Structure 1
Amino acid sequence: MKQHTFLILFFAVFQTAFSQPDRPVLDIMLTNYEYPFEMHYLDMNNQNQQLKMAYMDVAAKNPNGKTVVLLHGKNFNGAYWKTTIEALAKEGYRVIVPDQIGFGKSSKPVGYQFTFQQLAQNTKAVLEELDIDKIYLLGHSMGGMLATRFALMYPERVEKLVLENPIGLEDWKVVAPYTSINSNYQKELKADYETTKKYQLGSYYDNQWKTDYDEWVYLLTGWAKHPDYPIVAMNNAQTSDMIFTQPVVYEFQNIKVPTLLIIGTRDRTAIGKDNVKDPEVAAKMGQYQLLGKETQKRIADSQLVELDNVGHLPHIEAFDRFITPLKEFLK
């Protein structure tokens, strides 16, 4: 009996040790987490609040005079672009990587109205601070929606647009019920390492986990035990609402710049799908092997690169297959 009890305790401790990394609790500005490159901060008065917008500004190895701006997804921040930054800088590009307000090392405001237009203006403010006019713009996931909005608002600034598994290729609110900010907030308060990893394992990586992926779970949940975490949870709930209620799918035909779509066709990301009661309707959501083709038809001057057996994160899951068409398009 004692041996049986010991084994139960041993495996419980073993499972806990490998499901929750023994790493420091992060503060909500990630001051105790080091990004891959030096951070810079833009002070801005935004919606009557004094905010700081963090960004990396990485110089080219042998400058070609071009600048690439990388926009992160909702469940990430600028840190996950490390290998992409290194590859582009090696090719001669200056690379600017902002953390949007509410994310990463940027301010987490209270009572902020999150819109893609506001985030686009904030991104433009960083470029103006750096005296950068023309850019190549790459957005992943939520960053793809933001990149689309930016290109629609400031087409004179965007020379080329790249959308990597962007969300927003369909209008989920047509078929999925609305979830209030308060409900999303309560859900965010319960987020932890295990539930977040389980979601990413199934949704992003087809149940094939690599230890490298742990970093992105840590950056999402490492601040969950910090006393200021409720502010982060509310920002997360507000940006979820922004994504659900502010579609860009009806405006793809208005994009006037050369565009590349890089689509991992295994991706099944669809906001609100879990709340759809009709299984047949839910099964039709997030079909990226179809959505990529449909979107490419809507954007006049566009190309589509499909990556078979790759999910929501091509630049993490299949970097070599991602970077090759990206570099070719930017030439």
Structure 2
Amino acid sequence: MTAPEAIGPTLKRGEKLLEVNGGRVVYEILGKQGDFIALTPGGRFSKDIEGLRPLAQALVKGGYRVLLWDRPNCGKSDVQFYGQSESHMRAETLHALITGLGIGPCILAGGSGGARDSMLTAMLYPEIVRKLVVWNIVGGIYGTFVLGSYYIVPSILAVRGTGMRGVAQVGEWKERIAENPANRERLLSFDADDFLTLMLRWLNAFVSKPGQTIPGVDDEMFDNIGVPTLIIRGGENDMDHPKRTSLEVSCLIKGSTLIDPPWPEDAWERAAEARASGKVKRFNMFDTWVQAAPAILDFLGRR
């Protein structure tokens, strides 16, 4: 009889699994024809996070096929822990997913953490990228400090206190176990000392350093991006995705196109306020992303 911990995720219609580096990645493809766009959200949010699918559907209506995927440690996919940083691990996974499905070279598009994952994939695996579209790029001392404290520090405190059983009780990992029960055993089987070493390395990627405009990536890596690139700059006072970071990235990616955000300059701040006040009962931070569809389609339609 199969132990409950070994039971994987329950897939909905259209979802499929692909094994990458010993972990299963959940993905789906929207659309029937056209070039492929690999679309990646931010944070450790799944492909089903509110706001992402409307953008994907708008891109499908524009004549493209869209790959949506749960990155390792997101949604229903298996948890995985390796690599120079979590974004490096995700880039390796996306490369394997695109090549495994035979859909490359394709267009990479992503916002917030998904922008970083997409840019790093384009840097490390330029042969699989046709064009690049990024927005809500994280940078600056505040933005990177928040990411490290939110996504990494709780796991460090837990593993130092009560080992991997403590890590399995961290809220975010409890959510991964709920969506994919096999993740409990995957977490508990990881060596606590190795996990701590890895978390400290991943945390170091979020320490602001000279010569790293985006967390954990040396500026010289931007020289590897030679494809047409669209950058939707951060809002005027967005502390999580600073305008300055978008401008710096536009200078680092030669020949890139920088445009103003299609949403209000203060969209991120107002969404955060509404969420904090309890006026919305669901995740609302990516609701404006669909507004970028016309600009993205216009850019992708150019030669």
The TM-score bracket by the shorter chain reads: 0.5 to 0.7
- List runs of 5+ in structure 1 lacking aligned partners: 1-26, 197-217, 270-285
The 2-side partners of 1:140 and 1:174 are apart by 15
Kindly provide the CA deviation profile for residues 91-147 of structure 1, in whole angstroms up to 9, marking residues without a partner as x. Answer: 2211112211222111114x5446333322221211122112211101221221111
Per-residue deviation, 1:68: 0.3
User: 1:241: Cα distance to partner?
Assistant: 2.3
Q: Distance in 2 between matches of 1:99 and 1:264?
A: 25
Corresponding residue for 2:19?
43
Query: In 1, Cα distance between the equivalents of 2:28 and 2:118?
Result: 17
Q: Cα offset for 1:151?
A: 0.7
What is the Cα deviation at residue 320 of structure 1?
Answer: 4.7
Partner of 1:305: 259
TM-score, L = length of structure 1: 0.61
1:326 paired to 2:291: no
- Residue type at the aligned position of 2:17: Y
What is the CA–CA distance in structure 2 between the aligned matches of 1:102 and 1:330, rounded to whole Å? 30
Is the contact made by 1:138 and 1:161 (CA closer than 8 Å) also made in structure 2? yes
Aligned to 1:69: 38
Q: 1:29 to 1:319 in 2, by over 3 A?
A: farther
Higher alpha-carbon Rg: 1
**1:11-56 deviation line (CA, Å, top 9, x unaligned):** xxxxxxxxxxxxxxxx999836x76x62111123x2xxx3211111
SS in structure 2 at match of 1:256: coil
Look up the match of 2:211. none
| Residue aligning to 2:31 | 59
In structure 2, the residue matched to 1:158 is 129
Correspondence for 1:241 among 194, 203, 209: 203
Question: Deviation at 1:191?
Answer: 6.6
Q: Work out the CA distance in 1 between the residues paired with 2:143 and 2:290.
A: 35
Q: Which amino acid aligns with 2:39?
A: L
Q: Which residue is 1:31 aligned to?
A: 9
Question: For residues 92 and 219 of structure 1, do their structure 2 counterparts lie closer, same or farther at Cα, with a shift above 3 Å needed?
Answer: farther
CA 1:305–1:231 in 2, change beyond 3 Å: closer, same or farther? Answer: farther
Within-5 A mapping of 1:1-331: 31=9, 38-44=14-20, 46=21, 50-60=22-32, 63-64=33-34, 66-80=35-49, 81-109=52-80, 112-113=82-83, 115=85, 116-167=87-138, 169-170=139-140, 183-186=154-157, 228=184, 231=187, 241=203, 243-244=205-206, 247-248=216-217, 250=219, 251-265=221-235, 266-269=237-240, 288-307=242-261, 308-311=265-268, 316-331=286-301
Shift of residue 76 of structure 1? 0.8
What is the distance in 2 between the residues matched to 1:257 and 1:31? 36
How many residue pairs were aligned? 252
**Aligned in 2, Cα 1:136/1:241: closer, same or farther, shift over 3 Å?**
same
Distance in structure 1 (CA, Å) of the matches to 2:43 and 2:285: 15
Q: Which amino acid aligns with 1:53?
A: V
Normalising by structure 2, we get a TM-score of 0.66
SS at the partner of 2:297? helix
Letter in 1 for 2:30: V
Q: Does the 8 Å CA contact 1:75/1:220 hold for their aligned counterparts?
A: no
Asked if 1 retains the 8 angstrom alpha-carbon contact of 2:95 and 2:128, the reply is no
RMSD (Å), alpha carbons: 4.3
Judge conservation of contact 2:112–2:135 (CA < 8 Å) in 1.
Answer: yes
- Aligned identity (percent) is 22
User: How far apart are the structure 1 equivalents of 2:55 and 2:27?
Assistant: 15
Q: 1:320 to 1:175 in 2, by over 3 A?
A: closer
Q: 1:79 to 1:173 in 2, by over 3 A?
A: closer
Deviates more, 1:139-148 or 1:305-314: 305-314
Match for 2:40: what amino acid? L
3-state SS of 2:37 partner: strand
Is contact 1:38-1:57 (8 Å) kept? yes
